[in-house]
Structure 1
Amino acid sequence: MKKIASLTIVTVLFIGTGLMNWDNVSAASIDGLNDKINDLEKKEDKIDKKKGNLNNKAANTEEKISKNLDKQGKVNSEINSIDQKLSNTRSKIMKKKNAIDETDKQIENLNGQIQAAKEKIEQLKKEINVLQKRIERREKMLKERLRAIQSNGGSMRYIEVIMGSQSFGDFISRSTAVNTIMDQDKDIMETHMAEKREVQHKKAEVENKKEQIEQKKKEVEQKKASLQNQKQDLESLKSKLNNQMDEKENLMGKLKDKHHELEQYKMSLAEQQKTLSDQAAVIAEAKEKAASEKERLKQLAEKREREAQQQESSSPSSSSGGSSATTYSSGGGDAIFNYPVAGSISSGYGGRSLGYHYGIDFAASIGTPVHAAASGVVTRSAVSSSYGNVVYVYHPQYDKTTVYAHLSSRSVSLGQSVSSGQTIGAVGNTGNSFGAHLHFEVHIGPWNYHSGVNPLPYLP
């Protein structure tokens, strides 16, 4: 721990609770102020460097955010392109489905036609069977007629019938009868041949029609198979596009998460910059007061020296009395802070499943008073996106900073001096909090994002 040169500098710079005893002014007091000013200037330099680093980090984060947004834009464009392809593919699949449904109807219709043709063929088979029986009977009759003609000498028997007529009238009758028989035979033969041709024609016609329908069915089935293959290809394309869409949406989700993380980091940097600026303002004010008090002490010392010289010239035997400055040290031991709130510790310092816990939590109901762990000066009193209502107190006598987060209310303001045990706020559940509690941190020196340490060793 760093020692402060005198109680006076602590009082003037950070507590502001009294005036110096000018009768005890000495060179040691001025030297102590010089040391304090030098120490404050070093702190200013450190803060300036930290602010510079934060500015660089902020610029780097902005660049990363810009690149992330560019990637998001590119991925979003790819998603839109895939979505358009998916839409077109779905439309094509629907068209193929409709075409397949249409071919199914055609196949069903052709199946009906084939069934009708089969029924027609069965009917024709029956008709052909009847015709064939008639033809067979007729052929049998004709064969018998021909055998009779042949056994009777062939066609000359017709002449004998005619020549054997007894009279002219008998001749006419016989001639007419012969002609009738010959005409009947002719008709029978023509009918016989016509019916045979008809049977063959009908049979050929139905078989041809059946072949045409079956060929048509075969073509439609081939068309259906082709459509199903095309539909399957489109389904495969759709599946591939869906996988691409899932990958792109997953990537977009990661980019958005990264963007959120960068934005949170950016806000964290902004908070750090604001805190460092507030601390720098307090230190600058402290340095200004120290310089002013140094000048006043110097003038007072010069005045005392002149008075002493005058006294020596008027009273040579007078003795000079020494003066001493009251000094102040940090005290012994590490338990330098008091408990900031009445409540049990619900969460310790260190690693967690969801990250690192840079402080300890005190379980307490909302509104429970929160006290300054030691005297000091407020270097931040504001609302944070992560800490909610938060108060930072710098304790110069220990060169440490305490943080009180998730408050429901704040009772102190930036630059205000506070005494140990003074109420600075109330327990709450603000910011990134999941239940009423006080989050308490201890930092070495002025607050810094990476200067936190475990608070427990500094508590009684």
Structure 2
Amino acid sequence: MKKIVSFTIMAVLIMGAAVMNGDYVSAASVDGLNDKINELEKKKDKIDEKQGKLSDKQKNTEEKMAKNKDKQAKVNNEINSIDQKLTKTRNKIQAKESEITETNQEIESLTGQIKSMKKKIENLKKEIKVLKERIEQREKLLKDRLRAIQSNGGSMRYIEVILGSQSFGDFISRSTAVNTIMDQDEDIMQTHMAEKREVQNKKSEVVNKKKQIEQKKKEVEQKKASLQNQKQDLESLTSKLNNQMSEKEQLMGELKEEHQKMEKYKMSVAEKQQALSDQAAVIAEAKEKASSEKERLKQLAEKREREAKQQKENSSSTSGSGSAAPSSSGGASTASSGGSGIFIWPASGSVSSGYGGRDLGYHYGIDLAPGYGAPVHAAASGVVTRSAVSSSYGNVIYIYHPQYDKSTVYAHLSSRSVSLGQSVSTGQTIGAVGNTGNSYGAHLHFEVHEGPWNYHSGINPFPYLP
């Protein structure tokens, strides 16, 4: 079992020393021990009561954490469902984007065809222009020939040419020439009409093809616009789902943060229970030792009384002179609990944060900033009631000072050099300044508590420092 020294043990030792020095034990000594034992029992009962309340708080916190986990599971399911919807939406968007890409390629192909057709139309226009010029020239030639034929009597002139032959050979020559002219006139007319029809057909063909291409281009543009609208709808849906996802993630983060806070509180409750348990052990052992010391002092007092009685009887046969028993007993004197300067500064350096209210809560102590690794000293002599690692305080040491009935706390240490139950003297180095636990920068957090440590018994340290 660990060696635990309490203020009662110290008081007993002081009383024992007084008894040995004065060679006398009074009933007051035993009565004093009775008072101390009763006081210890009351403090133990209070600690047991506080431990019970902490157990209830821990149970309540665990129930809240269980509900919180159920909420987290529900949110996780919702997030998984949203992820599935997002995946489907993204796949649809990719498919639509592929369709849009194909449509764009088709539009580019049609645009190229239209460009080629326009070039062909330009060439046809040039051909039509040439044909029109030839037709105009031919029409002019035909008009001239018609006027000539009309002015010369029409077709009878061909007969006169034939009948005016001088010989058979001349007849044959004239007949051939007339037929050639007539054939040429017929070819000219046929060519003329054919070229006119060709011009008209080409014009119609160009117009029809242009209409077809423009119509197809219009349809493709409409399809592209429709796909763009669908893409916008899908993107809007994706944005909506992403917002939902963000909202759920935020909710999940809040739930996790709440869970972490409760987990810290649960750990803090466990630490408080441990601290109270340590102090209860100190009190229990102090009570046991005080009871043993009470019995020893009682027996010693009875022995001294018998010896005094015997000595008195023996001295009655003499001249009557004797020594009187002392009328007072020795005792331990304690300093006033409200005295100024009962504690020394536990570390050097300036005060970086005082005692009192803060934006994020109440600061039950003061902060000193001597620099990382600076030595930390016991503010007064006492016994270590806790030396451990805390989730919030990091490396932390509690010391109870029986002579003042107060406790001090030294938190966020980088190291600890004392252990539970160890007696320490004023100014003894117990650790070093650090940045452990819930700390933002190297400093020493120092607390003073009225009586044994309690999680809501912190008081302003300044009135007790020099």
Moved more, 322-331 or 158-167: 158-167
Contact 2:414–2:436 (CA<8 Å) still a contact in 1?
no
What are the within-5 Å matches in structure 2 for residues 268-307 of structure 1? 268-303=268-303
Q: Give the residue type in structure 2 aligned to 1:358.
A: Y
Indicate the residue corresponding to 1:399 in structure 2. Answer: 405
Indicate the residue corresponding to 2:3 in structure 1. Answer: none
Q: Deviations over 1:312-355 (max 9, x none)?
A: 88888999857543344543452262214352442322234555
Q: Give the residue type in structure 1 aligned to 2:129.
A: N
Report the TM-score when normalising by structure 1. 0.82
Indicate the residue corresponding to 2:351 in structure 1. Answer: 346
1:337 maps to 2:334: no
Choose from 409, 413, 421 the match for 2:419: 413
Structure 1 residues 276 and 387: alpha-carbon distance in aligned structure 2, compared to 1, 3 A threshold: same
Indicate the residue corresponding to 1:139 in structure 2. Answer: 139
Indicate the residue corresponding to 2:237 in structure 1. Answer: 237
Output the CA distance in 2 between the equivalents of 1:392 and 1:402: 6
Structure 1 residues 38 and 56: alpha-carbon distance in aligned structure 2, compared to 1, 3 A threshold: same
Contact 1:14–1:417 (CA<8 Å) still a contact in 2?
no
Please list every run of 5 or more consecutive structure 2 residues that lacks an aligned counterpart in the other structure.
1-5
Indicate the residue corresponding to 1:118 in structure 2. Answer: 118
Contact 1:394–1:401 (CA<8 Å) still a contact in 2?
yes
Indicate the residue corresponding to 1:130 in structure 2. Answer: 130
Displacement of 1:52 in angstroms is 1.6
Displacement of 1:115 in angstroms is 2.9
Report the TM-score when normalising by structure 2. 0.81
Output the CA distance in 2 between the equivalents of 1:282 and 1:14: 14
Indicate the residue corresponding to 1:360 in structure 2. Answer: 366
What are the within-5 Å matches in structure 2 for residues 43-82 of structure 1? 43-82=43-82
Displacement of 1:436 in angstroms is 5.0
Displacement of 1:219 in angstroms is 1.9
Indicate the residue corresponding to 2:388 in structure 1. Answer: 382
Moved more, 159-168 or 56-65: 159-168
Contact 2:385–2:398 (CA<8 Å) still a contact in 1?
yes
Output the CA distance in 1 between the equivalents of 2:213 and 2:89: 34
Q: Give the residue type in structure 2 aligned to 1:59.
A: K
Indicate the residue corresponding to 2:329 in structure 1. Answer: 325
Structure 1 residues 115 and 292: alpha-carbon distance in aligned structure 2, compared to 1, 3 A threshold: same
Displacement of 1:84 in angstroms is 5.0
Displacement of 1:44 in angstroms is 1.1
Displacement of 1:243 in angstroms is 3.1
Contact 1:429–1:437 (CA<8 Å) still a contact in 2?
yes
Contact 2:12–2:293 (CA<8 Å) still a contact in 1?
no
Contact 1:366–1:437 (CA<8 Å) still a contact in 2?
yes
Output the CA distance in 2 between the equivalents of 1:206 and 1:366: 92
Output the CA distance in 2 between the equivalents of 1:129 and 1:367: 102
Structure 1 residues 17 and 88: alpha-carbon distance in aligned structure 2, compared to 1, 3 A threshold: farther
Q: Deviations over 1:126-151 (max 9, x none)?
A: 22222223223333444454555556
Moved more, 298-307 or 159-168: 159-168
Displacement of 1:284 in angstroms is 0.6
Output the CA distance in 2 between the equivalents of 1:273 and 1:247: 38
Displacement of 1:446 in angstroms is 1.4
Q: How many residues align?
A: 451
1:442 maps to 2:448: yes
Moved more, 273-282 or 331-340: 331-340
Displacement of 1:205 in angstroms is 1.0
Displacement of 1:310 in angstroms is 6.9
Q: Deviations over 1:240-277 (max 9, x none)?
A: 33433433343344334333333332222222111111
Q: Deviations over 1:143-183 (max 9, x none)?
A: 45455555666666666766777887777666655554443
SS in 2 for 1:386: coil
Structure 1 residues 17 and 176: alpha-carbon distance in aligned structure 2, compared to 1, 3 A threshold: same
Displacement of 1:280 in angstroms is 0.6
Structure 1 residues 64 and 150: alpha-carbon distance in aligned structure 2, compared to 1, 3 A threshold: same
Moved more, 225-234 or 274-283: 225-234
Contact 1:395–1:401 (CA<8 Å) still a contact in 2?
yes
Displacement of 1:283 in angstroms is 0.6
Structure 1 residues 398 and 206: alpha-carbon distance in aligned structure 2, compared to 1, 3 A threshold: same
Displacement of 1:363 in angstroms is 3.9
Please list every run of 5 or more consecutive structure 1 residues that lacks an aligned counterpart in the other structure.
1-8
Contact 1:406–1:429 (CA<8 Å) still a contact in 2?
yes
Choose from 16, 21, 36 the match for 1:19: 16
SS in 2 for 1:325: coil
Identity of aligned residues (%): 71
SS in 2 for 1:390: strand
- Considering only aligned residues, what root-mean-square deviation do their CA atoms show, in Å? 3.7
